[in-house]
Structure 1
Amino acid sequence: MKIEQIYTGCLAQGAYYIVSENEAVIIDPLREVKPYLDRLVKDNVTLKYIFETHFHADFVSGHLDLSKKTGAPIVYGPTAAPEFEAIIAEDNQIFEIGKVKIKVMHTPGHTMESSTYLLIDENGVETAIFTGDTLFLGDVGRPDLAQKATNLTQEDLAGILYDSLQSKIMPLDDSITVYPAHGAGSACGKNMQKET
């Protein structure tokens, strides 16, 4: 198994490339997909899924082009309603990639479809979480950005985010590596650490 963070400093945004055996997934890809396509060819692997942690307001995702060029389906968490073909996963749904698994954890609050992806390694050990804008290093996602998309107030969304963090993420083992969608410099949080 290999996990690679593809970090773009100008956007303070991290995409993730995970390979197990001859299959790969990409989480939150950037708009320019050629580097991902080149990587797939170089590693001689098939892109099995494209995971989106949520609908992004701060950058244009490459998920549609990547799906069109590879045939890999796009996966969103529960409650997402995209205007294009995608798998809308259920909370706790498991996706298999090579010898590893990715478990969907619905973690609304930043947006209502926000989901965290839990990576379970080939030995069945929960290894890493890809938190999108739910949890950063040093901060949590802003609960005020999705107000227009829902009938909820900023306070309502903050409460939902709190519940997501307490019920889904905090119970996980402390040894798990946190891979957020953004680092310091992003408008999605105020107190993010420089580490990514």
Structure 2
Amino acid sequence: MKIEQIYTGCIAHAAYFIESNGEAAIFDPLREVQPYIDKANKEKATIKYIFETHFHADFVSGHLDLAKKTGASIVYGPTAKPNFDCIVATDGQEFKIGGVTIKTIHTPGHTLESTCYLVIDENEKQHGIITGDTLFIGDVGRPDLAQALVEDLTQEVLASHLFDSLRNKIMPLSDDLIVYPNHGAGSACGKNMSKETTDTLGNQKKVNYALRADMTKEEFIKELLDGLTPPPAYFPQNVLMNIQGYESLDAVMSKAETPLHPKEFEAVA
């Protein structure tokens, strides 16, 4: 098994590439998808799945363009209702990539459809967990970004869901699992993220405020919501594009590279 974090520092975003026995999967791709295709070609692998941990708010995902160009299936977690063909996985559903197993773990809280993916290697050993915006290094995902666009839920209700997800789904897992989050320090999707971009789950249980074993749900909600700054205004638009679909980047770039006649420019200015 090969697992690689593809980190884009300007938006503190981590996508992931997993390859095994000539098959590959991409997790949370950015909109420019050619680098993922090039990476798969270099590894002589076919991209089989595109896993999304949730409907992203801080960027427009490349899931649609990547699926169109590779024929890979898009996978979301339970309760997701996208406006395009995809696999809406059930909690606990497993997917095979070569000899690797990817197990769906539904972890609502950051958003209602938020899902983590447990990575089990060719020897059936649990290697790591791709946590999306559910669990960061030193922090957890905000429950206040754009969920109201999808479900009529308050940030307090989502924070309550996140507490349950962390305690019931994540914390019982093995301490030696590697945590692979969707973001690092500088992202607006959390408030206290570390500059580190991976860690063991066991260490996060020791140092992450949100994973304190003696924390009550009320204390968790209070600490999670305290000090949140207003999210960027473009976040809701990104969520809708990720749910409803968008014009391909190739078409956008083609238009951008086509010169306008002065009269055409005046008409659109």
Q: Same fold (TM over 0.5)?
A: yes
Q: Distance in 2 between matches of 1:81 and 1:133?
A: 18
Structure 2 counterpart of 1:102:
102
Aligned partner of residue 50 in structure 1, secondary structure: strand
CA deviation map 1:83-108 (0-9, x unaligned):
01100000000001101100000000
**Match runs of 1:171-182 below 5 Å:** 171-182=172-183
Correspondence list, 1:29-48, <5 A? 29-48=29-48
CA deviation profile, 1:43-81 (whole Å, cap 9, x unmatched):
110001000000001001111000000000100000000
Q: RMSD between aligned alpha carbons?
A: 0.7
Deviation of 1:149 (Å): 2.5
Cα distance in 1 for residues equivalent to 2:148 and 2:165: 17
Q: Distance in 2 between matches of 1:151 and 1:32?
A: 32
TM-score normalised by the chain length of structure 2: 0.72
State how far apart, in whole Å, the 2-side matches of 1:38 and 1:140 are.
Answer: 32
Alpha-carbon distance in 2 for matches of 1:70, 1:190: 36
- Give the structure with the higher percent strand: 1
C-alpha distance in structure 2 between counterparts of 1:107 and 1:135, whole Å: 10
1:84 and 1:10 mapped to 2: Cα distance? 29
**How far apart, CA to CA, are the structure 2 residues paired with 1:151 and 1:57?**
17
Match for residue 76 of structure 1? 76
Off by >6 Å, runs of 4+ in structure 1: none
Counterpart of 2:162? 161
Separation (CA, whole Å) in 2 of partners of 1:123 and 1:41 = 25
Quote the Cα distance in structure 2 between the aligned partners of 1:52 and 1:148.
18
Which one-letter code corresponds to 1:62 in the other structure?
Answer: G
Partners in 1 of 2:43 and 2:122 — Cα distance? 19
After alignment, is 143-152 or 82-91 more displaced?
143-152
Unaligned residue ranges in structure 1 (runs of 5+): none
Q: Which runs of 5+ in 2 are unaligned?
A: 198-269
Provide the residue aligned with 2:136 in structure 1.
136
- % identical aligned pairs: 68
Once the two structures are TM-superposed, the CA of residue 13 in structure 1 deviates from its matched residue by 0.3
The code of the aligned residue for 2:177 comes to I
Distance in 2 of aligned mates of 1:109 and 1:11: 22
Deviations 1:112-163 (A, max 9, x none): 0000000011111111000000000000000112234322211111000000
Distance 1:148 1:67 in 2: 25
2-side partners of 1:148 and 1:39: how far apart?
Answer: 35
Partner of 1:126: 126
User: Which of these two proteins has the greater Rg computed from alpha carbons?
Assistant: 2
Greater shift in the superposed pair: 83-92 or 37-46:
37-46
- How many residues align? The count is 196
Q: What is the alpha-carbon distance in structure 2 between the residues aligned to residue 62 and residue 151 of structure 1? A: 27
Aligned counterpart, 2:203 = none
- Are 1:88 and 2:88 counterparts? yes
Deviation at 1:41, TM superposition (A): 1.1
SS of residue in 2 equivalent to 1:10: helix
Distance 1:149 1:78 in 2: 14
In structure 2, what is the equivalent of residue 149 of structure 1?
A: 150
Match of 2:167, SS state, is helix
CA distance in 2, matches of 1:134, 1:94: 19
